[in-house]
Amino acid sequence: MAILDYEGFWKDALVQLQNDLREEEFSGWFSDMKYLRAGNNSIVIGVPSAFHRDKVISRYQSLVNSILKKVSGQDISLEMELISVDSIETEKKESFTTKSASQNEASTAAQPQETYKTKKKKEKHSQMRDDYTFERYVIGENNKFAANAAIAISENPGKAYNPFLIYGGVGLGKTHLMQAIGNYIHENSDNEVIYITSENFLNEYLEGLSQKTMNVLKNKYRYTDVLLIDDIQFFTDKPGVQEELFHTFNALLDAKKQLVFTCDRPITELKKFPERLISRFGLGLMVDLQPPRYEERCAILKSTAESKNVLIPAEVIDLLSNNISSNIRDLIAALNTLIAYTQLMGKPITLEIAQQRLKTIFNSPKQANLTMDNIIRVVSEYYGLTPNDLKGKKRSQNIVSARHLAMFIGREMTDYSTTEIGQDFGGRDHTTVMYSIDKIKDKLLTDPALEATIDSLKRSIKEFSAK
CATH top-level class for 2-115?
alpha beta
Q: 170, 112 in Cβ contact below 8 A?
A: no
Among 266, 276, 286, 288, residue whose Cα is nearest residue 426: 266
Element (H, E) at 262: strand 258-263
Please give the CATH topology (third level) of the domain spanning 294-367: Helicase, Ruva Protein; domain 3 (1.10.8)
Q: How many CA atoms does the CB half-sphere of 15 hold within 13 Å?
A: 8
The pLDDT tens digits for 330-355 are: 889 999 999 999 999 999 999 999 99
Element (H, E) at 226: strand 226-230
* Residue 393 backbone class (left: φ over 0; alpha: ψ -120 to 50; beta: rest): alpha
Among 272, 382, 380, 383, residue whose Cα is nearest residue 391: 380
pLDDT of residue 231: 92
Q: How many CA atoms does the CB half-sphere of 88 hold within 13 Å?
A: 8
pLDDT of residue 415: 72
Bridge partners of 296? none
Q: 151, 134 in Cβ contact below 8 A?
A: yes
Q: Which residues of the chain have pLDDT under 70?
A: 1-5, 22-25, 27-28, 51, 84-121, 364-369, 466-467
Among 116, 115, 114, residue whose Cα is nearest residue 88: 116
34-39 and 42-47: which strand pairing? antiparallel
> Considering the domain 144-289 in this protein, what is its CATH number?
3.40.50.300
CATH of 370-465, one of 1.10.443.10, 1.10.1750.10, 2.30.30.100, 3.60.20.10: 1.10.1750.10
Instruction: Output the CA–CA distances (angstroms, integers) from residue 447 to 375, 382, 400, in the order listed.
Output: 22, 19, 17
The pLDDT tens digits for 378-413 are: 999 999 999 999 999 888 999 999 999 999 999 888
Element (H, E) at 389: helix 387-391
Domain chopping of the chain, boundaries: 2-115, 144-289, 294-367, 370-465
CB within 8 Å of 397: residues ≥ 6 apart: none
Q: Dump the DSSP string for 29-85.
A: HHTT-EEEEEETTEEEEEES-HHHHHHHHHHHHHHHHHHHHHHHSS--EEEEEEB--
Cα-Cα end-to-end distance for the chain: 76
pLDDT of residue 70: 84
pLDDT of residue 7: 83
